[in-house]
């Protein structure tokens, strides 16, 4: 096989007009082919939710241009091509020929979990390999131990279903029917598998033909140089964007509670350190992360890589070239055998929208902090929901027809994080800006259900000056089935997989419940349609009789019959800013639109609103808020005192059992975590006395909405409160140790039955000792070291073009 | 002149309102007026007045002698796109799904892909009504159309009371599965009518009886929102027309590709109806010239629309978007990209590359050369800089263009950053926009499995003729035609439309197993028969088609047409079992009564599927499904007659205005400039040349030749 040398041509001096024309054509080709993939698919998640990717790659695996739509897997294909190169596929034994197509669903090589299936086709021109086209989408059924490919009962990789590591399924244009038949035999739903495979093959063929036409038109030399140029531009663009951010390390931490549908919940931690270097590179490390577990909520490294890239594509280089060029300036370091870099033996069934999505939430947190510290407020948001919770319903319908499909009506309508000028969106996922939330009617027909309720759940957006987008609850009955076998996958039953930012709170927890042997149809005969109100979610048995069972957010496959009911809840986004600064008018609007309740608003936001007329008493509200600030000042512990108590609790093991389990495990597994514990002990030797008052010579930059980095008259760079001027500490130190700190039981701020489990996590609130404003809130297991979100920030940095 | 000698058509666009007055001899006069958004009636009559003036007549003279007056309006589209509030509406829906309209379906609907990728700033569309005016009532129908819980009428009454108290001016009723069983919606509507007799009220199945509640509910609310204002406007226009002596019904253009009498027009069908006029014109030309197939390319100030008129019937969009809303109302398939004359060229600073769009200078401030405050160079500016548009003959000289400002803008913003000469930069802008439009055409061709050598391309809109040669280059069309009325072609086309109604519903028929060959992947039709489909499915198919036909005859009867005048076309939307997206197929039968009927349906589906997606994409193992069926009723109306003119000769010298320098392929070259209105049948104009009409400019590159045909339309072809 003749392969061109990727960097052989000098792409710097291309005719700009011809180059523009070339790009238009290439972009149209991949987007057009994505439409083919979408329309021919048999999966709800592809057609109804828009999850379909088509892209063109260089022979070395670099993505040149990707179609808009599902962004999650474009780097997976890069890895797959690299694998094929490493395994010398072009040589005897496999061979890469014109008209071939390879299928991969092996997540350890190049994916996130088994259902994510890619077909990759080489593009030859005059016998020379020009690159590959790839079509990737999710297939609902992969023959795992439970229907659906995201098996909550899986504990090892082989439970996830069949593994196809870049196997040739079409050779020189002809389907390999023996391989094809093997694949169809490996799944419970061969019909959908075949539909989806045909769709990918057809999409690749469309893309291949159109790319050949482009080469015919522009000439092969120009085509190669232009492709290289596009990748270079991707990198140049990324570096230019990094040049707008203040160099330094930005850190975020998140916790996960879910192992699977059959295991008890267990705490895991993930901490990301995102370094932006002065020479415009990004180094993403996960210094602290829990070890891999025998469960379905682990991720292989390609999933983490894919998550980072889609997060950057939508949050940093959205206006650049959409390709893998930025990979040239990114380093990723994740400890082996951890929850985020598991070995190939463990299950990763839920990685995509579970633990890997937690990582996206942290990347957002880090990027938002970097944006704010660079003065780019409009790009800042609190972490969105760090997971998607969904169910799969499979079985045989009343007419004897088998069915299997994913239910996405609650899953996909999750909350985005609060922003600096407005609340978070609902229906928000960084991996697919073109996401669609399926219709009730489409789901009811395909999955044989009756949705009783699909509604926003009030008070689930993380509280803050600007709250997160709300979660959605789905209460669903089996309807028109002879037998059904649903399973549910999710996380966040004891503590949510996200955080707030700058004083905002994280979002809600959730759970799955089953109500079997119900009297649903007796009620409907009486003209009653029960459980249509989101508030019924937690009081289900008051409305319908049956055998109730509450699960965590994942539930294994449990047989159901007509009229049986299950409930699930997605997650909201994190809040941004001190809740005491929330405009009361926004609260009234939330009450009117049923995104919030007055009861919770009074508790969190300290507002005075007439329950009948919803009129706001501004004077009383200000008075209530002032009293709250004063209470913060009186109940908050000084940093040193808090730290002493924290260390003492760890030493005496006066911590809840789940926390002790996790601390013991992570202390052994993660040297970085052990270092953090030691560092806090060492801090006790310091006075940790705040500076308190300082004369400011000049403000250097805003670190957060409540904290400025300034130069005092003595030439020292220090952190001060932007509201009252209280001086915390030197700019290089963690201001949190100089704050007032208060541990809050999260149940106080949670809707009924959705209280976080304080044995798993508490709200650690940080107040300004001067004025009582809430600067940060950590959702954290008690006893965990205080996070330093900023390290080695370049104080005197100026943005590109700044004078 | 005898009475009833004109066909008049008015097209209200965002900037201009166009009028076409066609005489019995096929000659036509065009008129233009600035659109008056506050009262569209003014520009409606202003445009007619402008045409009448050219004819030396009064508005009354022209209107009173019209045999037919049609109207295409952006009233509804503008109202929805601009967020203009319309009447305050309430919505009564199935309890439990009150939030459906606020969970959105496609979060990035209606915004360019670059904006969608920047998720933090690309918000949701504004809600069509406040959440507190959405009330749920107990009722439930399931996916089979069976009643699970009967409508609780007392709850409907309570909801109506609440909404009326909240001051609503209209109520929409949208229940789940109402397209399969509309009994609850109908009863709820009756209750509203009983309680508040004059209140505006409609049910979702009545407006758009198709599956997927989000778009069905959205269609209903948009219909109610624009309905009142649109009906008022139409009523006022009709009154004025009657005063002027026109007593026939006013016909209104619909997005489904035909007109409808104003008294029964469903408001939602007028959305995006403007470009559909162009499609009707393409269809008219196809018949006029006896073409096998035709495509239209319409370049306006801000958009480039592509329409396909194949051998069989036009296609309808399955998920049309108006503004930021996905709707269920059927619309002719028109592919739009944001490339028009006003498209802004810019340099992406980080990579220093030339980009075009998606932003447009629109009509205000417009291109830099308009000298109305625009600072960003556009495609029109590039045309002026290159000498393709004469700055002193824009709109026939009515608008003077500032060429110096265009040069300065392109120099500063494009040429200097790229290190190019200003003229090379301007030519680059034109080439890139031509390529973007060419790519769209190519995409349309590929997606529909079209062989361009079998298609004629029509180039129209004010911005089409300057770039038609560029964007059609290399695509291999059989012919390229530039109509003599290119700049008002949509209005002209609309005047050729028939009265059309389209009715659709969803029977959801599944035939899960049919014999097929594993080698050819085709169904083995000889083994297929009525035994393979349930009798319930057959009854549903037949009964639903019959119900649609009855509705078609009843509504056309209300318009005064006898059933013998009505032509019905039947269509179904089919797919392989397990697929989630269906393709439209012209139905060979309207009833399934024999094995052959059933085979014919399957066979027609297979043929269309292979044509669209190739044989390799066939997946017969899951059987076959009929998701929706549709009936289109057409009543032929009077049409303009284009008269053939006698051949004069190839020599076009009588139309030669001047020879001036234009910039082409990197150098200034002498270019013959011809006057469109002086060209005669048979004249041949070889490139490099420009033909100037009052409201557009036809650019003919060196490798093209234009011949004036017997209708004075221009045929462009490659020079041998």
**For the segment A184-231, what is each residue's pLDDT rounded down to a tens digit?**
999 988 888 898 999 999 999 989 999 999 999 899 999 999 999 999
**How close B157 gets to chain A, by Cα (Å)?**
16
For a pLDDT cut of 70, what percent of chain A falls above it? Answer: 98
Inspect the interface and report whether the beta carbons of A381 and B150 lie closer than 8 Å.
no
Residue among A46, A413, A434 whose CB faces B108 most closely: A434
- Across the range A32-50, mean pLDDT stands at 79
Strands B200-203 and B170-174 come out as parallel
Alpha-carbon gap, residue A195 to B224, rounded angstroms: 40
Span B545-562, pLDDT tens digits: 999 999 999 988 988 889
Chain segment A740-762, per-residue pLDDT in tens: 999 999 998 988 788 899 999 99
Counts of helices then strands in chain B (DSSP H, E): 17, 35
Among candidate residues A686, A691, A692, the one with its CA nearest the CA of residue A643: A686
pLDDT attached to residue B450: 64
Residue numbers in B near A441 (CB within 8 A): 143, 176-177, 211-213
Q: Does position B235 have pLDDT exceeding 50, yes or no?
A: yes
Residues whose CB falls within 8 Å of the CB of residue A404, separated by 6 or more in sequence, listed in order: A140, A141, A147, A148, A188, A189, A192, A392, A393, A394, A395
Give dist(CA A495, CA A761) in Å, integer: 6
Distance from CA of B381 to the nearest CA of A (A): 17
Higher-pLDDT residue of B258, A219: A219
Which residues, at least 6 apart from A265, have a Cβ–Cβ distance to it below 8 Å? A257, A258, A259, A493, A494, A552, A658, A760
What does the pLDDT look like over A345-354, one tens digit per residue? 999 999 999 9
pLDDT of A5 over the 60 cut: no
Q: Does A306 touch chain B (CB under 8 A)?
A: no
For A394-404, what is the mean pLDDT? 82
**Interface residue A240 vs chain B (CB under 8 A):** yes
Name the residue among A192, A416, A527 with its Cβ closest to that of B578. A192
Tokens describing residue A584: 């009361």
Phi, psi of A744 (to 5 degrees): -115, 140
pLDDT band at B299 (very low <50, low <70, confident <90, very high): confident
Contact A398, A520 (CB under 8 A): no
Kindly give, in sequence order, each residue whose CB lies less than 8 Å from that of residue B564, ignoring residues fewer than 6 positions away: none
Residues 436-455 (A) with a CB less than 8 A from some CB of B: 436-437, 439-442, 444-446, 448, 450-455
pLDDT mean over A247-255 = 97
The percent of residues above 70 in pLDDT, for chain B, comes to 95
Residue A27, token pair as written in the block = 């972009």
Classified as helix, coil or strand, B91 is strand
Whether residue A198 and residue B616 make contact (CB cut-off 8 A), yes or no, is: yes
Residue among B103, B432, B512 minimizing CB distance to A17: B432
Q: What is the pLDDT of residues B306-360, one digit of tens each?
A: 887 766 556 666 678 887 888 888 777 777 665 677 888 888 777 777 887 777 7
3-state secondary structure of A658: helix
Mean pLDDT of chain A: 93
Q: Which of residues 130-149 of A touch B (CB under 8 A)?
A: none
Nearest CA in chain B to A472: B103
Q: What pLDDT is stored for residue A17 in this prediction?
A: 79
Q: Which chain A residues have a beta carbon less than 8 Å from that of B358?
A: none
Chain A residues within 8 A of B105 when measuring between CB atoms: 436-437, 439
Each residue's pLDDT tens digit, B384-433 = 999 999 999 887 777 789 999 999 999 999 999 888 899 999 999 998 88
Q: What are the angstrom distances between the C-alpha of B461 and each of A291, B247, B340, B385, B437?
A: 64, 32, 10, 21, 14
Which of B35 and A336 is assigned the larger pLDDT?
A: A336
Contact criterion met (CB < 8 Å) for A17 and B428 = yes
Nearest CA distance, A442 vs chain B (angstrom): 6
A208: chain B residues, CB-CB within 8 Å: none
Is residue A134 over pLDDT 90? yes
SS (H, E, C) B24-84: CCCCEEEEEEECCCCCHHHHHHHHHHHHHHHHCCCHHHHHHCEEEEEEECCHHHHHHHCCC
**Residue A585 DSSP one-character state:** H
- A441 and B213 in contact by Cβ < 8 A? yes
How far A458 CA lies from chain B's nearest CA (Å)? 12
Q: Residue B144: which of B176, B187, B188 has the closest Cα?
A: B176
What residues in B contact A38, CB-CB < 8 Å? 581
A788 at B interface, C-beta within 8 A: no
Distance CA A118, CA A105 (A): 6
Q: Provide, as residue numbers in chain B, all residues whose Cβ is less than 8 Å from the Cβ of A479.
A: 142-143, 148
ipTM above 0.85, yes or no: yes
**Stretch B143-148: mean pLDDT, rounded?**
94
If you average pLDDT over every residue of chain B, what do you get? 88
Is the CB of B214 less than 8 angstroms away from the CB of A439? yes
Q: Which of B96, B103, B139 sits opposite A453 (nearest CB)?
A: B96
Q: What is the pLDDT of residues A627-660, one digit of tens each?
A: 999 999 999 999 999 999 999 999 999 999 999 9
* Preferred mutation among A53, A433, A448, A469 to probe B, highest tally of B CBs within 10 A: A433
pLDDT band at A409, cuts 50/70/90? confident
Which helix (H) or strand (E) segment is A640 a member of?
Answer: helix A639-652
CB atoms within 10 A of CB A715: 7
Residue of A nearest to B111 (CA): A434
Interface touch A320/B350, C-beta < 8 Å: yes
| pLDDT value, residue B658 | 93
pLDDT at residue A7, as a whole number: 42
Which among B131, B350, B427 is the nearest to A236, CB-wise?
B350
Q: Are A433 and B108 an interchain contact pair (Cβ–Cβ within 8 Å)?
A: yes
Q: Give the pairing type, strands B714-718 and B704-708.
A: antiparallel
The two tokens of residue A52 are 């379909």
How would residue B78 be classed by pLDDT, with cut points 50, 70 and 90? confident
Check pLDDT > 80 for residue A788.
yes
Contact yes or no for A118/A103 (Cβ under 8 A): yes
* Element at A311 (helix H, strand E): helix A301-315
Q: Is the pLDDT of residue A9 over 50?
A: no
Nearest to A198 among B100, B138, B619 (CB): B619
Cβ-based neighbour number of residue A5 at 10 Å:
10
Mean pLDDT calculated for residue range B98-119: 85
Q: Which of B614, B566, B568 is nearest to B587 (CA)?
A: B568
Average the pLDDT over B485-510 and give the result.
Answer: 87
Please tell me which of A6-10, A515-519, B49-53, B257-261 the model is most confident about, judged by mean pLDDT: A515-519
Chain B hits for A174, Cβ within 8 Å: none
Q: Residue A164: how many CB atoms within 10 A of its CB?
A: 21
Taking the C-alpha atoms of A53, A56, A59 and A61 in order, what is their torsion angle to the nearest 10 degrees? -40
To the nearest whole Å, the CA of B333 is away from the closest chain A CA by: 15
pLDDT tens for each residue of A523-566? 999 999 999 998 888 889 999 999 999 999 999 999 999 999 99
Q: Is the pLDDT of residue A12 over 60?
A: no
Please give the Cα distance from B463 to B252 (Å, whole number). 26
Nearest Cβ partner for A236 among B121, B176, B351: B351
- Asked whether the predicted pLDDT for residue B664 surpasses 50, the reply is yes
How far is Cα B604 from Cα A195, in angstroms, rounded to an integer? 20
CB A55 within 8 A of CB A230: no
The residue behind tokens 């979408």 is A38
Per-residue confidence (pLDDT) for residue B337, from 0 to 100: 62
Q: How far, in Å, CA of A430 to CA of A361, rounded? A: 9
**DSSP string covering B439-508:** HHHHHHHHHTT--GGGEEEEEESTTHHHHHHHHHTTS--SEEEE-TTGGGHHHHHHTTPPEEEEEEE---
Interface probe, candidates B580, B623, B624, chain A, greatest A C-beta count within 10 A: B580
Q: In angstroms, how far is CA B362 from the centroid of its own chain?
A: 19
Taking CB atoms and an 8 Å cutoff, what residues of chain B touch A313? 117
pLDDT for the residue B398: 74
Q: Is the pLDDT of residue A50 over 80?
A: no
Give pLDDT, residue B694.
Answer: 79
> Averaged over A169-175, what is the pLDDT?
93
Chain A: residue nearest B99 by CA?
A455
Residues of B in contact with A319 (CB under 8 A): 114, 117-118, 348
DSSP class of A508: -
Query: Could you count the other beta carbons within 10 Å of the beta carbon of residue B104?
Result: 24
B176 → chain A, closest CA residue: A441
Whether residue A594 lies within 8 A of chain B, CB to CB, comes out as yes
Question: Residue B673 has which token pair?
Answer: 């400039």
Helix (H) or strand (E) holding A84: helix A74-86
Pick the residue from chain B with its C-alpha nearest to A427.
B103
- Structure confidence by residue, pLDDT tens digits, B680-696: 999 999 989 999 987 78
Residue A557, pLDDT score: 92
Q: Which residue of B has its CA nearest to A40?
A: B579
Query: How many angstroms separate the CA atoms of A423 and A777, rounded?
Result: 18
Distance from CA of A151 to the nearest CA of B (A): 22
What pLDDT digit, counting tens, does each position of A337-390 carry?
999 999 999 999 999 999 999 999 999 999 999 999 999 999 999 999 988 899
Tell me how far apart the alpha carbons of residues A364 and A387 are, in angstroms, rounded to a whole number. 13
Cα of A367 to nearest chain B Cα, Å: 13
pLDDT, residue B2, reads 44
The predicted pLDDT at position B372 comes to 87
**A21: distance to nearest CA of chain B, Å?**
5
C-beta of residue A608 within 8 angstroms of C-beta of residue A628: no
A260-275: per-residue pLDDT in tens? Answer: 998 999 999 999 999 9
H helix and E strand count, chain A: 18, 30
Q: What are phi and psi of B188, to 5 degrees?
A: -60, -40
pLDDT reported for residue B491: 86
Percent pLDDT > 90 in chain A is 79
Triad A429, A317, B353: Cα angle to 5°: 140
pLDDT for B277 beyond 80: yes
Residue B14 has pLDDT above 80, yes or no: no
Any CB–CB contact under 8 A between A393 and chain B?
A: no
Distance CA A231, CA A55 (A): 13
Please give the Cα distance from B695 to B461 (Å, whole number).
10
B130·A593 Cβ contact <8 A: yes
What is the per-residue pLDDT across A595-627, written as a single tens digit (0 to 9) for each? 999 999 999 999 999 999 999 999 999 999 999
Beta carbons within 8 Å of B196's beta carbon, 6+ residues apart: B160, B164
**Which has the closest alpha carbon to B249: B258, B238, B240?**
B238
Q: Are residues A201 and A170 in contact, defined by beta-carbon separation less than 8 angstroms?
A: yes
Distance CA B90, CA B135 (A): 8
Kindly determine whether residue A532 and residue B95, on different chains, have CB atoms separated by under 8 Å. Answer: yes
pLDDT on residue B22 = 87
- pLDDT reported for residue B106: 84
Question: CB A237 to CB B580 under 8 A?
Answer: no
Contact A482, A395 (CB under 8 A): yes
Q: Are A527 and B149 in contact (CB < 8 Å)? A: yes
């Amino acid at each position: 096989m003749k392969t061109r040398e990727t960097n052989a041509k000098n792409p710097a001096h291309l005719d700009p007009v011809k180059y523009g024309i070339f790009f238009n054509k290439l972009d149209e080709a991949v987007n057009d082919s994505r439409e083919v993939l979408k329309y021919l698919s048999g999966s709800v998640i592809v057609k109804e939710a828009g999850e379909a990717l088509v892209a063109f790659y260089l022979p070395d695996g670099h993505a040149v241009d990707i179609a808009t739509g599902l962004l999650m897997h474009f780097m997976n294909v890069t890895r797959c091509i690299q694998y094929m190169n490493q395994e010398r596929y072009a040589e005897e034994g496999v061979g890469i020929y014109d008209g071939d197509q390879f299928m991969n669903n092996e997540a350890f090589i190049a994916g996130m979990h088994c259902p994510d299936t890619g077909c990759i086709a080489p593009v030859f021109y005059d016998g020379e390999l020009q690159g590959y086209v790839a079509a990737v989408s999710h297939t609902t059924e992969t023959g795992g131990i439970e229907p659906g490919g995201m098996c909550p009962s899986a504990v090892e990789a082989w439970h996830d279903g069949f593994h196809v590591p870049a196997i040739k399924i079409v050779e020189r244009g002809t389907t390999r029917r023996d391989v094809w038949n093997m694949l169809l035999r490996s799944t419970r739903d061969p019909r959908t598998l075949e539909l989806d495979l045909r769709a990918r093959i057809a999409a690749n063929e469309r893309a291949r033909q159109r790319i050949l036409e482009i080469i015919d038109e522009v000439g092969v030399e120009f085509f190669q140089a232009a492709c290289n140029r596009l990748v270079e531009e991707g990198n140049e663009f990324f570096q230019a964007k990094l040049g707008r951010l203040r160099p330094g390390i930005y850190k975020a931490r998140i916790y996960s509670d879910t192992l699977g549908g059959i295991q008890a919940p267990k705490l895991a931690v993930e901490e990301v350190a995102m370094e932006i270097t002065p020479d415009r590179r990004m180094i993403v490390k996960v210094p602290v992360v829990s070890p891999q577990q025998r469960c379905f909520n682990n991720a292989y490294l390609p999933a983490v890589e894919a998550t980072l890239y889609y997060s950057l594509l939508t949050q940093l280089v959205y206006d650049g070239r959409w390709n893998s060029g930025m990979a040239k300036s990114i380093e990723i370091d994740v400890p082996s055998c951890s929850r985020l870099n598991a070995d190939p033996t463990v299950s990763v069934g839920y990685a995509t929208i579970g633990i890997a999505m937690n990582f996206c939430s942290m990347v957002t947190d880090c990027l938002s902090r970097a944006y704010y510290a660079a003065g780019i407020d409009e790009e800042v948001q609190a972490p969105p929901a760090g997971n998607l919770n969904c169910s799969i319903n499979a079985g045989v319908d009343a007419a004897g027809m088998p069915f299997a499909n994913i239910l996405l009506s609650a899953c996909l309508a999750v909350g985005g994080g609060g922003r600096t000028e407005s609340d978070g969106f609902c229906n928000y996922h960084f991996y697919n800006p073109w996401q669609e939330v399926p219709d009730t009617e489409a789901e009811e027909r395909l999955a044989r259900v009756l949705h009783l309720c699909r509604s926003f759940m009030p008070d689930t957006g993380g509280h803050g000056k600007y709250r997160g987008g709300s979660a959605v609850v789905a209460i669903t009955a089996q309807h028109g089935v002879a037998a059904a076998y649903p399973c549910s996958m999710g996380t966040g039953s004891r503590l949510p997989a996200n955080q707030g930012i700058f004083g905002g709170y994280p979002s809600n927890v959730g759970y799955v419940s089953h109500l079997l042997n119900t009297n649903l149809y007796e009620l409907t005969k009486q003209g009653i349609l029960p459980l249509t109100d989101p508030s019924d979610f937690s009081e289900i048995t008051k409305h319908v009789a049956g055998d109730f069972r509450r699960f965590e957010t994942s539930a294994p496959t449990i047989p159901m019959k007509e009229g049986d009911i299950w409930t699930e809840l997605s997650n909201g986004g994190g809040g941004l800013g001190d809740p005491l600064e929330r405009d009361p008018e926004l609260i009234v609007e939330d009450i009117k639109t049923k995104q919030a309740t007055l009861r919770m608003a009074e508790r969190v936001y300290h507002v005075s609103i007439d329950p009948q007329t919803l009129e706001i008493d501004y004077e009383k509200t200000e008075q209530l808020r002032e009293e709250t600030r004063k209470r913060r000042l009186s109940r908050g512990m000084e940093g040193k005192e808090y730290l002493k108590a924290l260390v003492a609790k760890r030493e005496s093991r006066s911590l809840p059992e789940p926390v002790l389990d996790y601390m013991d495990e992570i202390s052994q597994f993660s040297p970085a975590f052990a270092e953090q514990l030691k560092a806090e002990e060492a801090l006790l030797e310091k006075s940790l006395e705040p500076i308190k008052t300082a004369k400011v010579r000049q403000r250097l930059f805003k670190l957060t909405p409540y904290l400025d980095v300034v130069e005092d008259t003595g030439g020292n760079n220090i952190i001060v409160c932007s509201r009252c001027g209280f001086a915390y500490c030197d700019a290089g130190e963690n201001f949190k140790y100089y704050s007032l700190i208060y541990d809050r039981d999260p149940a106080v701020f949670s809707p009924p039955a959705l209280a976080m489990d304080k044995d798993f996590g508490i709200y650690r609130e940080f107040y300004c000792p001067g004025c009582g404003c809430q600067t940060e809130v950590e959702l954290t297991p008690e006893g965990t070291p205080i996070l330093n979100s900023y390290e080695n920030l370049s104080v005197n940095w100026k943005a590109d073009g700044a004078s | 002149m005898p009475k009833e000698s004109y066909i008049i058509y008015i097209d209200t666009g965002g900037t201009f309102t166009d009028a076409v007055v066609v005489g019995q001899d096929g000659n036509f006069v065009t008129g233009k007026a600035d659109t008056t958004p506050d009262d569209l009636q003014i520009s409606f009559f202003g445009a007619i007045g402008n045409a009448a003036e050219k004819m030396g007549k009064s508005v009354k003279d022209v209107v009173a002698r019209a045999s037919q007056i049609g109207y295409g309006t952006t009233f509804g589209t503008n109202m929805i796109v601009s967020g203009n509030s319309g009447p305050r509406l309430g919505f009564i829906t199935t309890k439990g799904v009150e939030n459906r309209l606020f969970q959105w379906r496609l979060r990035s609907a209606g915004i360019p892909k670059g904006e969608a990728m920047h998720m933090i700033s690309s918000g949701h569309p504004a809600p069509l009504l406040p959440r507190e005016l959405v009330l749920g009532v107990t009722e439930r129908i399931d996916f089979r159309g069976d009643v699970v819980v009967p409508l609780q009428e007392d709850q409907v009454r309570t909801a109506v009371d609440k909404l009326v108290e909240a001051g609503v001016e209209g109520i929409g009723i949208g229940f789940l599965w109402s397209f399969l069983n509309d009994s609850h919606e109908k009863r709820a509507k009756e209750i509203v009518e009983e309680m508040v007799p004059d209140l505006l009220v409609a049910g979702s199945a009545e407006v758009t009886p198709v599956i997927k509640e989000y778009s069905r509910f959205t269609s209903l609310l948009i219909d109610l929102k624009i309905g009142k204002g649109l009906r008022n406007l139409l009523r006022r226009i009709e009154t004025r027309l009657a005063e002027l002596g026109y007593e026939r019904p006013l016909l209104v253009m619909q997005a489904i590709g035909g007109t409808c009498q104003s008294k029964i027009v469903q408001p939602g069908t007028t959305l995006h109806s403007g470009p559909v006029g162009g499609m009707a014109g393409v269809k008219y030309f196809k018949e006029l010239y006896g073409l096998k197939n035709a495509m239209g390319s319409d370049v306006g100030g801000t958009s480039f629309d592509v329409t396909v008129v194949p051998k069989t019937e036009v296609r309808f969009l399955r998920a049309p978007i108006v503004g930021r809303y996905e709707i269920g109302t059927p619309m002719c398939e028109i592919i739009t990209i944001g490339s028009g004359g006003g498209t802004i060229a810019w340099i992406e600073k980080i990579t220093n590359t030339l980009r075009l769009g998606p932003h447009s200078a629109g009509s205000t401030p417009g291109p830099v050369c308009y000298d109305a405050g625009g600072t960003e160079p556009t495609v029109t500016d590039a045309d002026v800089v290159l000498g393709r548009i004469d700055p002193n003959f824009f709109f026939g000289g009515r608008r003077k263009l500032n060429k110096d400002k265009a040069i300065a803008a392109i120099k500063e913003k494009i040429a200097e950053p790229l290190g190019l000469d200003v003229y090379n930069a301007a030519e680059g802008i034109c080439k890139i926009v031509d390529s973007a439009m060419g790519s769209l055409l190519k995409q349309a061709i590929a997606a529909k499995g079209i062989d361009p050598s079998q298609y004629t391309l029509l180039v129209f809109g004010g911005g089409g003729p300057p770039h038609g040669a560029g964007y059609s280059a290399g695509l291999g069309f059989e012919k390229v035609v530039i109509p003599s009325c290119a700049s008002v072609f949509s209005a002209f086309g609309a005047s050729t439309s028939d009265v059309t109604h389209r009715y659709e519903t969803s029977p959801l028929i599944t035939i899960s197993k049919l014999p097929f060959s594993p080698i050819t992947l085709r169904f083995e039709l000889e083994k297929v028969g009525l035994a393979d489909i349930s009798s319930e499915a057959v009854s549903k198919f037949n009964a639903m088609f019959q119900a649609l036909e009855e509705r078609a005859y009843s509504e056309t009867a209300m318009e005064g047409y006898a059933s013998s005048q009505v032509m019905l076309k039947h269509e179904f939307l089919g797919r392989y079992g397990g697929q989630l997206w269906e393709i439209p197929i012209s139905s060979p039968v309207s009833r399934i009564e024999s094995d052959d009927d059933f085979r014919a349906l399957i066979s027609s589906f297979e043929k269309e599927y292979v044509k669209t997606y190739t044989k390799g994409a066939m997946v017969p193992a899951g059987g076959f499904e009929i998701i929706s069926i549709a009936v289109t009723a057409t009543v032929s109306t009077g049409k303009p007659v284009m008269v053939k003119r006698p051949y004069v000769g190839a020599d076009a010298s009588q139309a030669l205005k001047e020879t001036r320098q234009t910039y082409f392929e990197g150098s200034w070259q002498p270019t013959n400039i011809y006057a469109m209105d002086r060209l005669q049948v048979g004249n041949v104009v070889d490139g490099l040349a420009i033909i100037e009409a009052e409201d557009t400019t036809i650019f003919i590159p060196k490798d093209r030749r234009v011949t004036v045909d017997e209708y004075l339309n221009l045929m462009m072809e490659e020079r041998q």
